[in-house]
């Protein structure tokens, strides 16, 4: 069976990655990618840039605190998502002569995560409408008055008339100017793109006579999707695994960063653990420490892997590597487990979203938990059916999880929800292997998750306008952070 589509998810585009710095992949990495495309449209450093966020969108209240502004600056400067200069890009903007401003206004659009970018360099003017679609993925939906779809997965050649209009049909007229947009994503797309399956049911049918393991199915999918050998798929995940492990090691040593709510929480946990004052087995303790360490590296602007997002970057890697270490597994087994868990991410990316602005925290931490459950089940010797049952259970347990970041920061309650989601993955894997009946097929749970997420009130979808974010204690924290920033302490 083959599924053919114009755009289908890739493990390394949509599910695990990018390697990045910043609080949020939907904000920081996506904005950077949009900025990179704007830079190419202007053939290098742009002159004057105005970025507009819609008053009805979550970006209206979170663009500064969650890294949209920072990411846009980095993209316009040509930085990569993990560039250390993202910690303070403003001096480089000034040096490059880029006049950049941000505003919140009625853009005329009613779309989540919209960036409306006005560019001007001399007599050349351009307007770009782009969306962040979750996990660092983007889509350019309009340039000037022309509607189109550019997702950064292939080389694009665009022709503009002398008056700046985009020419979509027919040969370019005399005097037309070509702009080339380079691929941004790790895995390119071909025409047509083919994959062996696009949901869990199709995967089971595909595997009925092949008897492949979960990680092998993921490798087959990505190999066909990207036109590469399965060995290359393994090595790509191995590279990401090493970045994840590096974040854990860095975080456990302790992190420092002025502009954040929480300090290094994992140090206190480790101290209490060594003193014998905590309950739980080695796997639970590893998970708690590893998830915390990764999240603390993220909040201190260190390098992490968005898996599937930056806001949920601790759940999947922390759970998988934490359990693997408790079982004494080597790197090869961890890489295979990450691939096995990525299958669930592929199905979510196909039928739903990783964006909290669309689906709440269930779309981020919930998705990470479902991915981790499948990976843990595989490490414990589970069949493909048991891995998918574990994912179903983990996602069922995550339904309705809201996104209500305190002070509009991706720190709290994000840390606790990443830890609890990772432990949920472990429990879900255990009970799936013990024969607990998950009842609802994974595909139906994903469809339900999408429906539930989209029915959540706007205030509970990453706007910082509801939930814990509007409690008196949270508002006090928010005022304190604003006061520190105005005094130049951050």
Domain borders along the chain are 3-181, 197-484
Query: What stretch of H or E contains 54?
Result: strand 48-54
Task: Provide the strand spans (E) within 427-487.
Answer: none
By residue count, the chain amounts to: 490
Cβ within 8 Å of residue 274, ≥6 positions away:
none
102 three-state secondary structure = strand
| Per-residue tens of pLDDT for the chain, all 490 residues | 344 345 699 999 999 999 999 999 999 999 999 999 999 999 888 999 999 999 999 999 999 999 999 999 999 999 999 999 999 999 999 999 999 999 999 999 999 999 999 999 988 889 999 999 999 999 999 999 899 999 999 999 999 887 778 888 888 888 888 999 999 999 988 778 899 999 999 999 999 999 999 999 999 999 999 999 999 999 999 999 999 999 999 999 999 898 899 988 999 999 999 999 999 999 999 999 999 999 999 999 999 999 999 999 999 999 999 999 999 999 999 999 999 999 999 999 999 999 999 999 999 999 999 999 999 999 999 999 999 999 999 999 999 999 999 999 999 999 999 999 999 999 999 999 999 999 999 999 999 999 999 999 999 999 999 999 999 999 999 999 988 876 664 4
In which residue are the tokens 């090869």 written?
332
Three-state secondary structure readout of 314-325: CHHHHHHHHHHH
Determine the distance from the C-alpha atom of residue 323 to the mean position of all C-alpha atoms in its chain, rounded to a whole number. Answer: 23
Q: CA 74 to CA 89: how far, in whole Å?
A: 7
Q: CA 411 to CA 391: how far, in whole Å?
A: 25
What count of Cα atoms within 13 Å lies in the side-chain half-sphere of residue 101? 8
- Specify the pLDDT at position 1: 37
Rounded to 5°, the CA angle 327-331-337 comes to 70
Query: DSSP label at 85?
Result: G
Pairing of strands 19-20, 304-305: antiparallel
- Specify the pLDDT at position 328: 98
Fold of 197-484: 2-methylcitrate dehydratase PrpD (1.10.4100)
Q: Which residues pair with 193 in a beta bridge?
A: 5
Q: CA 488 to CA 490: how far, in whole Å?
A: 6
- Specify the pLDDT at position 171: 85
Q: CA 380 to CA 433: how far, in whole Å?
A: 8
Q: Which CATH architecture has domain 3-181?
A: 2-Layer Sandwich (3.30)
């Amino acid at each position: 069976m083959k599924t053919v589509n114009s755009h289908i998810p890739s493990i390394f585009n949509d599910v695990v990655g990018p390697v990045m710095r910043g609080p949020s992949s939907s904000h920081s990495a996506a904005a950077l990618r949009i900025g990179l495309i704007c830079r190419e449209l202007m053939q290098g450093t742009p002159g004057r840039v105005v970025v507009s966020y819609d008053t009805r969108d979550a970006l209206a209240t979170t663009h500064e605190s969650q890294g949209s502004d920072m990411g846009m600056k980095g993209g316009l400067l040509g930085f990569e998502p993990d560039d250390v200069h993202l910690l303070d890009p403003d001096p480089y903007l000034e040096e490059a002569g880029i006049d950049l401003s941000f505003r919140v206004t009625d853009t005329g659009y009613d779309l989540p995560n919209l960036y409306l970018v006005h560019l001007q360099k001399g007599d050349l003017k351009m307007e770009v409408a782009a969306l962040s679609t979750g996990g660092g993925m983007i889509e350019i939906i309009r340039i000037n008055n022309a509607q189109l779809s550019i997702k950064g997965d292939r080389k694009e050649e665009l022709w503009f008339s002398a008056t700046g209009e985009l020419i979509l049909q027919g040969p370019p007229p005399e005097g037309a100017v070509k702009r080339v947009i380079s691929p941004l994503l790790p895995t390119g797309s071909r025409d047509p793109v083919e994959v062996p399956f696009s949901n869990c049911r199709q995967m089971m049918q595909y595997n009925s006579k092949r008897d492949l393991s979960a990680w092998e199915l993921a490798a087959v999918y990505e190999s066909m999707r990207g036109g590469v050998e399965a060995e290359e798929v393994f090595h790509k995940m191995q590279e990401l695994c090493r970045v994840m492990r590096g974040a854990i090691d860095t975080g456990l040593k302790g992190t420092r960063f002025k502009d954040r709510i929480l300090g290094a929480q994992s140090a206190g946990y480790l101290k209490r653990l060594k003193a014998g004052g905590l309950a739980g087995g080695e796997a639970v303790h590893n998970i708690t420490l590893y998830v915390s360490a990764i999240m603390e590296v993220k909040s201190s602007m260190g390098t992490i892997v968005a898996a599937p997002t930056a806001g949920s970057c601790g759940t999947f890697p922390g759970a998988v590597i934490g359990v693997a270490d408790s079982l004494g597994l080597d790197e090869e087994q961890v890489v295979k487990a990450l691939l096995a868990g990525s299958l669930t991410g592929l199905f979510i990316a196909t039928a739903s979203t990783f964006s909290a602005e669309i689906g709440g925290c269930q779309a981020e931490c919930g998705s990470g938990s479902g991915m981790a459950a499948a990976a843990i089940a595989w490490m414990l010797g589970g069949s493909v059916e048991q891995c998918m049952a574990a994912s179903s259970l983990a996602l069922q347990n995550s339904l309705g999880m809201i996104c209500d970041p305190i002070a509009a920061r991706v720190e709290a309650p994000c840390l606790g929800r990443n830890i609890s989601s990772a432990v949920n993955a472990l429990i879900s894997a255990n009970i799936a292997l013990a024969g607990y009946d998950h009842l609802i097929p994974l595909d139906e749970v994903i469809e339900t998750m999408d429906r539930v997420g989209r029915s959540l009130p706007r205030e509970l979808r990453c706007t910082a306008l509801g939930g814990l974010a509007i409690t008196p204690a949270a508002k006090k924290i928010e005022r304190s952070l604003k006061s520190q920033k105005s005094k130049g302490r951050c």
